[in-house]
Amino acid sequence: MSQKLRIIPVGGLGEIGKNMMYVEYGNNAVIIDAGLMFPENDMLGIDYIIPDFRALADKKDLVRGIIITHGHEDHTGAIKHLMAEFDAPLYATPLTRGLLEVKLREAKLYDKVTLNTIHAGDRTNIGPFGIEFFHVCHSIPDGVGLGITTPAGLIVHSGDFKFDHTPVDGWPTDYAKLAEFAGRGVLALFSDSTNADKAGWTPSEAVIDPAFDAVFREAPGRIIIATFASLISRIQQVANAAFKHGRKMALVGTSMVENARMAQKLGYLEVPDGLIISTDEALRLPAKKVVIMTTGTQGEPSSILSRLSEGRNRQFDLLPNDTVVLSSHPIPGNEEMVHRTINKLLQRGAQVIYDPIAAVHVSGHASQEEMKLLLHLVKPKFFVPIHGELRHLHQHAALAREVGVAAENVTVVENGTVLEFQNDTLTVGDRIPGGYVFVDGTGVGDIGPSVMRERESLAESGLVIVNLRVGAGGQLAGRPEIISRGFVFVKDETELFEAAQNQIARVAARLGGGGESDLRHRVESELSDFFYTETKRRPMIFALVNPAAQVDEPAAG
């Protein structure tokens, strides 16, 4: 009997971001992508989220290669975490490799990783897998999809794609290779579902050029354009518009500066000499002669755009005639933060331009008609939608059935579900354990659901600390000290806390000098009920028990 081809989507199925897939045959495996996901509104204090690949810990020795399809954060952002655990060579196109190098150098991993440069059109063997890289259009140059020839059959992974007939770099998706795959017979297609609920075709990147031309022609002062640091094609379009309209261009933010420098070096960003200047130089020029590019399109609190919206950016502030352009769409879950940033920018007197006000951004993902076209071109036996929330996956599955893929061969799964291909059949196995791995500062995976619930509670109702002084007989010595933060307004707390002190005295009297632990827990429990009765809020309560003598003894002289 032949061996099984096992495919496990580790991330990206059931959410937007943290894309990662594990492909195994026998004692050999490859990993596709290692992305991050931006935190949702209720994930307080979290920097970003990475795929939970801890269940693959016992398979490290099987991994023969890690393939990165393109340079966006949702496909590269977890690379330093993955490479710290897996000793396998990386495969990426030149631009994607350059972006990965920046991340690996920052993490001091560059010298420990083997990097292999591949190009669209190349074929390479990794263990029993014959990998063919085919070019796809996306909102970043040098993206590829994968044709993976395995002993069980041909698998096609679309990567992030769109069918753009007039892409900025003049390099359309490789239709011929997709049709060739169909001629060989495709066992399964795994395809990007991000825009599965968008009818029609995704507009071409070319529609942005006239929109930028209008902005540059009409802006009375400085132009500040926010986009993703990895969106090299957008930097190119802004550079073209700046040159045409006689403006100098400044890039703000370490990641954007590094990425642009690397893209210029590799030839993916062509900018006339002298067009890009430092931020300090730009600030000395007349406002009409400047365009500034920065990050912060998702409303991230620490980003330059957010700081500008709140008047707390150190290097420069908004001017009355500034025009701010958000060249991006909000990632699902970030809409509230993005809209809040836009409102604050408007309050500070800036003119703000964003889609749908003007066509200053188009999606890099296929819409429904392009998804149908890919299915027709590839003609897979089995279809598994990837990259999207559950609603996107189900809508993409419906499109596949609509264009003729047998209903029983269309499978919607979420992260961790084991898919097994053997003898031209697909079996959906169990789901391996996994979930969100939160990155908070230098901590990776040490923030769990209980900590997140505590943060939510602190954010919603605040904190109360009760300092109890206890005498030798276990009785309260004096009135308890109560300190609160984020719970009640100062003017309201005196009467409430006096009543709380009386409640604590009654609790202590009922205990009759019980142990410190009993007193602490009983005070916390009773105060929680008391505060809820009085305020309909449940702050986090911490009772501290200290011996009265220790608290009251005079300081040593």
389: amino acid identity, one letter: E
Distance of alpha carbon 506 from alpha carbon 512, whole angstroms = 10
Residue in the block written with tokens 């150098």: 105
Is the predicted pLDDT of residue 445 greater than 80, yes or no? no
Q: Which of 69-73, 274-278, 524-528, 550-554 has the lowest mean pLDDT?
A: 550-554
Is the predicted pLDDT of residue 76 greater than 50, yes or no? yes
Cα 149 versus chain centre, distance: 30
Please state whether 424 falls in left (phi above 0), alpha (psi between -120 and 50) or beta.
Answer: left
Is the predicted pLDDT of residue 456 greater than 80, yes or no? no
Q: Is 418 helix (H, G, I), strand (E, B) or coil?
A: strand
> Are 468 and 523 in contact, with CB atoms under 8 Å apart?
yes
What's the order of all strands across the beta sheet hosting 48-50?
Answer: 48-50, 437-440, 443-444
Please state whether 180 falls in left (phi above 0), alpha (psi between -120 and 50) or beta.
Answer: alpha
pLDDT band at residue 548 using 50, 70 and 90 as cut-offs: low
Please state whether 515 falls in left (phi above 0), alpha (psi between -120 and 50) or beta.
Answer: beta
Is the predicted pLDDT of residue 1 greater than 60, yes or no? no
Q: Which residue, among 78, 26, 29, 90, has the nearest Cα to 56 in the 3D structure?
A: 29
Q: Which residue, among 228, 166, 222, 158, has the nearest Cα to 194 in the 3D structure?
A: 158
Q: Return all residues near 11 (Cβ < 8 A) that are at least 6 apart.
A: 17, 18, 19, 20, 35, 37, 50, 51, 52, 415
DSSP per-residue letters across 122-159: -EEEETTEEEEEEEEB-SSSSEEEEEEEETTEEEEE--
Q: Return all residues near 218 (Cβ < 8 A) that are at least 6 apart.
A: none
Residue 518, both tokens: 């009993």
Q: Return all residues near 555 (Cβ < 8 A) that are at least 6 apart.
A: none
Give me the pLDDT at residue 45, please.
65
Running DSSP on this structure, what letter comes out for residue 15?
Answer: B
Q: Sign of the CA dihedral 58, 61, 63, 66?
A: positive
Complete domains list, the chain, with CATH? 5-200+363-444 (3.60.15.10), 205-354 (3.40.50.10710), 462-552 (3.10.20.580)
Q: Return all residues near 495 (Cβ < 8 A) that are at least 6 apart.
A: none
Is the predicted pLDDT of residue 391 greater than 90, yes or no? yes
Tell me the pLDDT tens digit for each residue of 166-184: 988 889 999 999 999 999 9
The mean pLDDT of 82-97, rounded to a whole number, is 95
Distance of alpha carbon 419 from alpha carbon 426, whole angstroms = 7
144 CB-side CA count, 13 A: 28
Distances 484 to 239, 368, 462, 465, 541 between C-alpha atoms, Å: 53, 53, 7, 6, 9
Is the predicted pLDDT of residue 320 greater than 60, yes or no? yes
Output the CA torsion 410→411→412→413 (10° steps): -160
Q: What is the pTM of this model?
A: 0.81
The mean pLDDT of 452-470, rounded to a whole number, is 76
> Are 85 and 51 in contact, with CB atoms under 8 Å apart?
no
What's the order of all strands across the beta sheet hosting 290-294?
Answer: 276-277, 248-251, 290-294, 223-226, 323-326, 351-354
Average pLDDT, the chain: 88
Q: Which residue, among 42, 58, 145, has the nearest Cα to 377 in the 3D structure?
A: 145
Q: How do strand 417-422 and strand 380-386 relate by DSSP bridges?
A: unpaired
Give me the pLDDT at residue 553, please.
45
49-65 as b/e, with b when 16 or more CB fall inside 10 Å? bbbbbeebeebeebbbb
Distance of alpha carbon 370 from alpha carbon 372, whole angstroms = 5
Active site residue ranges: 192, 365
Give me the pLDDT at residue 40, please.
67
The mean pLDDT of 54-79, rounded to a whole number, is 94
pLDDT band at residue 555 using 50, 70 and 90 as cut-offs: very low
| Most confident by average pLDDT, 77-86, 165-174, 183-192, 514-523 | 183-192
Q: Which residue, among 108, 17, 49, has the nearest Cα to 444 in the 3D structure?
A: 49
pLDDT band at residue 384 using 50, 70 and 90 as cut-offs: very high
Is the predicted pLDDT of residue 285 greater than 50, yes or no? yes
Is the predicted pLDDT of residue 192 greater than 90, yes or no? yes
Is the predicted pLDDT of residue 556 greater than 60, yes or no? no
Give me the pLDDT at residue 551, please.
45
The mean pLDDT of 423-436, rounded to a whole number, is 89
Is the predicted pLDDT of residue 257 greater than 80, yes or no? yes
Q: Return all residues near 145 (Cβ < 8 A) that are at least 6 apart.
A: 69, 133, 134, 136, 156, 157, 158, 159, 161
Is the predicted pLDDT of residue 130 greater than 90, yes or no? yes
Give me the pLDDT at residue 35, please.
95
Give me the pLDDT at residue 42, please.
61
Share of the chain above pLDDT 90, in %: 58
> Are 449 and 438 in contact, with CB atoms under 8 Å apart?
no
Give me the pLDDT at residue 552, please.
47
Tell me the pLDDT tens digit for each residue of 291-313: 999 988 776 767 888 888 888 88
Give me the pLDDT at residue 27, please.
95
